[in-house]
Chains A and B, each alone.
Chain A
Amino acid sequence: MISFGISKVLHTAQGKALLDVMCDIEPGELVGIYGASGAGKTTILRILAGLLLPDKGHISVGGNMWLDTTAGKNLAPQKRSVGFVFQDYALFPNMTVKGNLAYALQKGQPPAIIDELMELMELQQLSGRYPETLSGGQKQRVALARALVRQPKLLLLDEPLSALDNELRYRLQGHILQAHKRYGLTTILVSHDVPELFRMAGRILVLEQGKIVKQGTPLEVFFNEQAGGAFQLVGDVVDVNMETRVITVLVYNNVVKVQVTAAEAIQYKQGDRVLVSSDTFSPVIRKIVVS
């Protein structure tokens, strides 16, 4: 059981904001943190890892107090059982892939874990290579493997896949899930990619200006119950045609045309963020065959 409550003044581009969050995480959970840049997502991870000190707060992991500002207790990052995967991978350029993993090995720990992780992350071919010769995806796998060598109680992932293309993302998400299951990890994943969170997180915290504004399963968080309906699409207006009164909305890579009244058409302009929904809707589903 991991429970924490922290508060810290953030200095954002829009001025000062107060980061104030509280949460309990069950062992084995994979929790996602979702929010815009500057909302404080990375800050939470850094505070949990001990790389940053909050103004006020407490962190307890499995009964051990890692941080208690009222009691003046602050466990050094070295002593916390965390694995951290940075956005820029932070691989040590002076060591090979195997070297990076070996560096993480604790005193007395059997080295078999290194080969195990290299197999899991498909790194065997890259064992003797140096980080600067690796691609983004390869670096990420190394970073993940390295974070797991110590079999940490808490795995912290700071937008680990944001720099990769969709296909690679999908593959690596699989690796993370595999590792999570295999080692019974407790993981916090920071991401601004909704499909990713849908696929990986059991629970999501939505962070806005430093506060948790919504919490729940991905479905609960991203589906607006009040708006109702059988489907909800969030997209951007790309065209408003006043003659035909059709508003064209782009939802990710998909185009939706919505028929509206003249009064409605006037309210929308190109670039607006909109929610398209309907209850009287009988969708038809068809498989896309890749030839």
Chain B
Amino acid sequence: MTDYQPFLITFRLALITTAILFIVAIPLAYWLAHSKSKFKSVIETLVSMPLVLPPSVLGFYFLIAFGPSHGLGQFIEHYFNTRLVFSFGGLVVASVIYSLPFMVHPIQAGLAGLSPNLKEASFSLGKSKMNTLFKVLLPCIKPSLLTGLVLTFAHTVGEFGVVLMIGGNIPGQTRVASIAIYDEVEAMNYHSANVYAGILFAVTFIILLTVYFVNHRYAITKNL
């Protein structure tokens, strides 16, 4: 009796998180790559924190911040009539924070590695910063963008600690595949756990393989 819902939730979560982060991370990565501000180190550190903090710490702070007993959570509950803890929406918010460095770092590194002359040449041709970013800079760092997308997606699929803290394991809503597998192992249903884990492995493998394959073919045709 394999229940496919956890997989649907996991992939939905991963896709939405990746899409949101792609939009959010680009301006942030651009700023970090080009800024000479004093605050750059602070922002860089904040962005990297989710890499170092144990997921349970993130989950714990999230629970406090977005639970209805404190300011922010109360505000959200009052005005939007939603509670972020124990909801899919909450998982999205948490995943965006948790996977942020995985999208920002590759893009930042890609942009910083470009010759500054490219940007300047574009400016001298009368093109705005936005125009330059989308028509020149981003197209030149396609491999970095791909890396960011793939890492973010994969990282979100593998998310466990944060979901454990704030998900509430609700079937159909927050019971993601990683939690479902854990559940089955806990209940000593090793056969089920095996099936789930196998499916998750196979699907993620195929997704990543496809992405890398397409990327290589694209690089080859461009060089002709």
Answer whether residue B121 sits at the interface, using C-beta atoms and an 8 A cutoff. Answer: yes
Q: Chain B nearest CB: distance from A44 CB in Å?
A: 15
Q: Chain B nearest CB: distance from A88 CB in Å?
A: 6
In the complex, A76 Cα to B126 Cα: how many Å?
A: 9
Contact in complex: B124, A49 (CB < 8 Å): yes
Over the window 29-56 of chain B, the binary record of Cβ atoms lying under 8 Å from chain A Cβ atoms (1 yes, 0 no) is: 0000000000000000000000000000
Answer whether residue A170 sits at the interface, using C-beta atoms and an 8 A cutoff. Answer: no
Identify which of B121, B127, B139, B223 contacts A90 (C-beta below 8 A). Answer: B121
Residues of chain A with a CB closer than 8 A to B205's CB:
none
Q: Take A93-B140, A130-B222 as given contacts and tell me if A83 and B124 are in contact as well, using a CB distance cutoff of 8 Å.
A: yes
Contact in complex: B126, A150 (CB < 8 Å): yes
Q: Take A90-B120, A130-B222 as given contacts and tell me if A104 and B140 are in contact as well, using a CB distance cutoff of 8 Å.
A: no
Q: Name the residue in B124, B128, B140, B223 with the highest tally of chain A Cβ atoms < 10 Å from its Cβ.
A: B124
Contact in complex: A77, B115 (CB < 8 Å): no
Contact in complex: B140, A51 (CB < 8 Å): no
Residues of chain B with a CB closer than 8 A to A51's CB:
120, 123-124
Identify which of B121, B126, B140 contacts A86 (C-beta below 8 A). Answer: B121
Closest to A76 in B: B123
Q: Take A84-B121, A86-B121, A92-B118 as given contacts and tell me if A78 and B126 are in contact as well, using a CB distance cutoff of 8 Å.
A: yes
Answer whether residue A94 sits at the interface, using C-beta atoms and an 8 A cutoff. Answer: yes
Q: Name the residue in A50, A83, A103, A146 with the highest tally of chain B Cβ atoms < 10 Å from its Cβ.
A: A103
Contact in complex: B125, A150 (CB < 8 Å): yes
Report 23 cross-chain contacts, Cβ distance below 8 Å, ordered by A residue: A51-B123, A76-B123, A77-B124, A78-B126, A78-B127, A78-B128, A80-B124, A82-B124, A84-B121, A84-B124, A86-B117, A86-B121, A88-B115, A90-B115, A90-B118, A90-B120, A93-B140, A103-B122, A103-B127, A103-B135, A104-B126, A146-B121, A150-B125
Which residues from chain B sit less than 8 Å from chain A, CB to CB?
115, 117-118, 120-128, 135-136, 139-140, 222-223
